[in-house]
Amino acid sequence: MVTAADKVDLLVVGSGAAGSVFAAEASAAGKRVLLLEAGPARTPDDLVSSQLWARRQKWGGAHVEEEGNHRVGHNFNAGWGTGGSTMHHYGVWPRLHENDFRTSTEFGQGMDWPFQYAELRPFYDRIQGAVGLSGDATEERWRPPGEAYPMPPVPVFGQGRLLAAGFARLGLHTAPLPLAINSVPYRGRPACLYDGWCDAGCPIGALGNAQTVFLNSALASGATVQNDSTVTRLLTRRDGRRIEGVEYRTGDGELHRQYADVVVLAAFTVQNARLLLASANDRHPQGLANSSGLVGRYLMTHPTVSLYGMFDEETQPGFGPTGGQLLNQDGYDNKLAVKDAYGSFQWIIANAVKPNGLLGIANNRADIYGAQLRPFLQRAVNHLGVMTLVAEDVPLPENRVELSSKRDAFGVPLARAVHNLDKAGAALVAHALEQGAAVLTAAGAREQWRGPQAGMHILGGTVMGSDPATSVTNSYGQSHDIENLFIAGPGLFPGSGAVNPTFTIHALALRAVEQLLRDWPSHGTQ
């Protein structure tokens, strides 16, 4: 049975970082807004402090097939339920740098963005004010222009002090990590307690996520989040030129239709591309918004490796935000500095770690087992230091999301995410790891080792640009092909930079929704 609910003004698919900004601004402007969210309802009370319970927040939808020498790690990187991945995100919020927006012009690599940093700067500043960031803009000598942070930095614990000294001994710099975490009470939300539980979600609201900020205001101004509602298809008008609405399935398997004036696809990188491809119809035989053939293409992930050192000194590795305490971006701006390599990288320094969990203490020394395990853990919980590399990924058309021949329980083809790291990217990682090892030695680590190399964040697949032949959307995420279809999230990024993307996701979404509200494409009728 198909049920069709009343038409809404704005239908947002996904209630995470990007979707919540659209919903908040549109409902504040008086639009009737509905967010369809595949995952369950979540409240702060669900954010149980446990690395085991944290797993309920991870992706619980259709399986994603993965291939390649450097997979994107969908299930680790994707969230599920009210607030999306933001609910367990760590709040590390650096800005992209000015030359991240013009890599083709400046370095002959990748693609330029359809606008420059100066265009996005006011949106970064406004988001920063709304969410509340802690940090020290002056100490971030590499930071592009922007307003100072509204809150002072978070404190530095033992491991941060030791690692900072290691950077300094090599003539490198560290600055407080810019965090969407309150160091002092901010706009009715309390200050952080530095207990290192961010991965499980912050129930006290010290961390800025969808639920504490934009989703909260969306709900306050009348938007509705409907959970357990998996969008399975976007529906176009018969002439193919406008979106009419979506089909979705509720947990009981029932098929529903929801009509809307405007649809925003904010289901995160892989599911956005999958839904567009799986919604192919007579008018759009290769998928919606895909006249360029680029939906799914230029899939990116930040190569990441954590480095660990054991120190004689007390390091307090269980304390502080999970995301870290300090940042190093020396050398970020010269993407051609390393021979045979390309790209920028940053170090996030002094992440809080717990004994268990994928990124926990035990798993970073997976070679230790049996009788040696407990003594190792006993030492590490007091003496471990951690720093994490985030490196740039070049957008390559062959890295992609495509449809599998297998289907999910609702009959929708599964996504297959194919991602390989090219030689220049691999060389960049190798160079950075050498530098990291030198820092740990200079910091006085007795012993040091590396965790596995993996993908952090998932970007691209629906890249924006000025030319409909070489991009999927315009600079607002509006489909070049379908006027009332917007795409939101890191899938829009034409380049990855080497910074965590969620600050930029918010800034882009704010810029886009303001444009949408200025120029509402409401003239179409069903």
Partner 1 sequence: MESLHKRRSLLKALVLSYPLVSGALLLSPAQARQRKLPLAVLDDGEAADLESVIEALVPGSAEAGAVHFIDYQLARPAADSLLMLRYLGVEQPHLNFYRAGLEALAQHSVRRFGKRPSALPAAELDTLITDLIADDTPGWSGPPASFLYFVWRSDGVDVTYGTEDGMASLNTPYMAHIKPEQVW
Ligand X SMILES: Cc1cc2nc3c(=O)[nH]c(=O)nc-3n(C[C@H](O)[C@H](O)[C@H](O)COP(=O)(O)OP(=O)(O)OC[C@H]3O[C@@H](n4cnc5c(N)ncnc54)[C@H](O)[C@@H]3O)c2cc1C
- Catalog residues that contact partner 1 under the rule CB under 8 A: 39-40, 45, 47-53, 55-56, 58-60, 63-64, 66, 71, 73-76, 80, 193-197, 202-204, 316, 318-319, 354-358, 360, 362-363, 366-367, 369-371, 373-374, 377-378, 381-382
Three-class SS state of 245: strand
Binding test (CB under 6 A) with ligand X, winner from 72, 131, 243, 267 = 267
Could you say which of ligand X, partner 1, ligand SF4, none residue 357 binds, taking C-beta under 5 to 8 angstroms by partner kind?
partner 1
How far apart are CB 208 and ligand SF4 at their closest, in Å? 9
x/- mask, ligand X, residues 215-234, rule CB under 6 A, reads ---------------xx---
Applying CB under 6 A, among 8, 26, 92, 463 the residue interacting with ligand X is 92
Please give the residues from 310 up to 329 whose contact with ligand SF4 meets the rule CB under 6 A: 321
User: Is the CB of residue 247 less than 8 Å from the CB of residue 232?
Assistant: yes
State the SS3 of 437-491: HHHHHHHCCCEEEECCCEEEEEECCCCECCCCCCCCECCCCEECCCCCEEECCHH
Measured distance CA(81)–CA(163) in Å, rounded: 36
Is 265 a binder of ligand X (CB under 6 A)?
no
Query: What is the C-alpha separation between 265 and 41, in angstroms, rounded?
Result: 19
Lookup result for tokens 């009788």: 371
**Subset of residues 493 to 522 that bind ligand X, contact rule: CB under 6 A:** 500-502, 505
Q: Are the CB atoms for 461 and 448 separated by under 8 Å?
A: no
Q: Which of 160, 140, 156 is nearest to 148 (CA)?
A: 140
CB of 320: closest distance to ligand SF4 in angstroms? 7
Residue number of the CB closest to ligand X reads 16
Task: Kindly identify the residues of this chain, within the stretch 150-189, that bind ligand SF4 according to CB under 6 A.
Answer: 181
Measured CA to CA, the distance from residue 79 to residue 52 in angstroms comes to 15
Least Å from the CB of residue 374 to partner 1: 7
Query: Residue 119: enclosing H or E segment and its boundaries?
Result: helix 117-131
Write down the residue that tokens 């406004």 correspond to. Answer: 126
Residue 485 binds ligand X (CB under 6 A):
no
Binding partner selected for residue 231 from partner 1, ligand SF4, ligand X, none, CB under the kind-specific 5 to 8 Å limit = ligand X
Residue 232, SS3 per DSSP: strand
**DSSP strand E in 46-103: where?**
64-67
What does the radius of gyration of the chain's CA atoms come to, in whole angstroms? Answer: 22
Q: Does 490 bind ligand X (CB under 6 A)?
A: yes
SS3 84: helix
181's contact among ligand X, partner 1, ligand SF4, none, with CB below 5 to 8 A by partner kind, is ligand SF4
From partner 1, ligand X, ligand SF4, none, which one binds at residue 18 (CB under 5 to 8 Å depending on kind)? ligand X
Work out what residue 241 binds among ligand X, ligand SF4, partner 1, none; the CB cut-off runs from 5 to 8 Å by kind.
Answer: none
In three-state secondary structure terms, 77 is helix
Q: What's the CA gap between 387 and 307, in Å, rounded?
A: 5
Q: How far is the CB of 195 from partner 1 (least distance, A)?
A: 4
Contact 486, 262 (CB under 8 A): yes
- Considering the complex, what minimum distance in angstroms separates the CB of residue 239 from ligand SF4? 49
Which residue, among 476, 510, 512, 514, has the nearest Cα to 127 in the 3D structure?
A: 510
Task: State the minimum distance, in angstroms, from the CB of residue 185 to ligand X.
Answer: 21
**To which H or E segment does residue 173 belong?**
none
306 binds ligand X (CB under 6 A): no
The closest alpha carbon to 462, from 450, 449, 445, 474, belongs to: 474
User: Whole-angstrom Cα distance, residue 492 to residue 470?
Assistant: 13
The answer to whether residue 197 forms part of the interface with ligand X (CB under 6 A) is no
Q: Which of the ranges 202-210, 243-251, 353-361, 488-496 carries the binding residues for ligand SF4, by CB under 6 A?
A: 202-210
Assess 197 for contact with ligand SF4 (CB under 6 A).
yes
Residues that bind ligand X (CB under 6 A): 13-19, 36-39, 61, 77-81, 84-86, 88-93, 199, 230-231, 266-268, 271, 275, 323, 457, 489-490, 500-502, 505
Residues that bind ligand SF4 (CB under 6 A): 181, 192-198, 202, 204, 206-207, 321
